[in-house]
Structure 1
Amino acid sequence: MVSTDTDILKTAEAWRREGRGVAIATVVETWGSAPRPVGSHLVIDEDTNFLGSVSGGCVEGAVITEALDVIADGKPRMIEFGVADETAWQVGLSCGGRISVYVERVD
C-alpha cells in the first residue's frame, strides 16, 4: 500500500523535529506510461529511511542516492528518467514512460 501524502509529509516533519537530515522528492512531470502520477512524493532521511513512492519502486534507489546529495549540500535537483535513457534501464524504468522528479532538502 502506498502511503498518503499526509503520511509522507507528517513523516518528513517528524524526522526534521528529531534532527535528521531530510529530503523530499516529488514527481513534477510525466510522459507516456508513468508508474506514479504528478504530485507523488518520496521522503528520505540521511540514513536512507524512506516513505512513499515516485515510481512504484523502479527508480527509488537512484532518487534516494540523489536525495542524500541534496541533504548534504542543500542544492535541489531535477532528475529525469525515461525509457530512452540508459540510466532508466539500469534502474528498472522499462514501462515506456518518462518522469521528472524534483528533489529538495527539508529545512
Structure 2
Amino acid sequence: MTEDMLETAAAWAEAGEQVAIATVVETWGSSPRPAGSMLVVTASGRMAGSVSGGCIEGAVAEVAQETMRTGQPQLLDFGISDERAWEVGLACGGKLKVFVEKLA
C-alpha cells in the first residue's frame, strides 16, 4: 500500500498537482491503522489512502492543505486524551501520530 500511495503522489505531482503526504509514524493501543499508513492529498482536494480508517482523515486533509500553502511540515498527535481527536471521531481509544509534509 505504501508503494501505491507514493506512486499516486508522484503521478499527481507529475500531472501538475500540489501534493502533501501524511504518514502514520507512531501508534499506541487500539489505533485504526498501523505505522507506515499514508494519506495523499492534493491542493485541489483529491485524496487517496488512509491514516485512520476514516475517523480523522478530514482533519489531516485540512492540515495537509495548510502544509502545501506554507511548506512547513507538521506532526499531529491524536488520541483519547486529545480533545480534538474526540471532535474528529477518534473514539477507538488508540493514539497515533501523523507526520504531514509537502511533496517537493
Tell me the TM-score normalized by structure 2. Answer: 0.97
Unmatched 5+ stretches in structure 2: none
Residues 1:65 and 2:28 are matched in the alignment: no
CA RMSD of aligned residues (A): 0.7
Query: Partners of 1:26 and 1:73 in 2: how far apart?
Result: 18
Aligned residues: 104
Residues 1:77 and 2:74 are matched in the alignment: yes
> How far is the alpha carbon of 1:48 from its aligned partner?
1.4
Tell me the TM-score normalized by structure 1. Answer: 0.95
Query: Partners of 1:5 and 1:29 in 2: how far apart?
Result: 15
- What are the Cα deviations for residues 34-61 of structure 1, in whole angstroms up to 9, with x where unaligned? 0000000000000111000000100000
Amino acid at match of 1:35: P
1:11 match? 8
Aligned partner of 1:44 among 36, 41, 45: 41
After superposing on structure 2, the runs of 4+ consecutive aligned residues of structure 1 that deviate more than 2 Å are none
Query: Partners of 1:37 and 1:6 in 2: how far apart?
Result: 15
Query: Percent same amino acid at aligned positions?
Result: 53
Unmatched 5+ stretches in structure 1: none
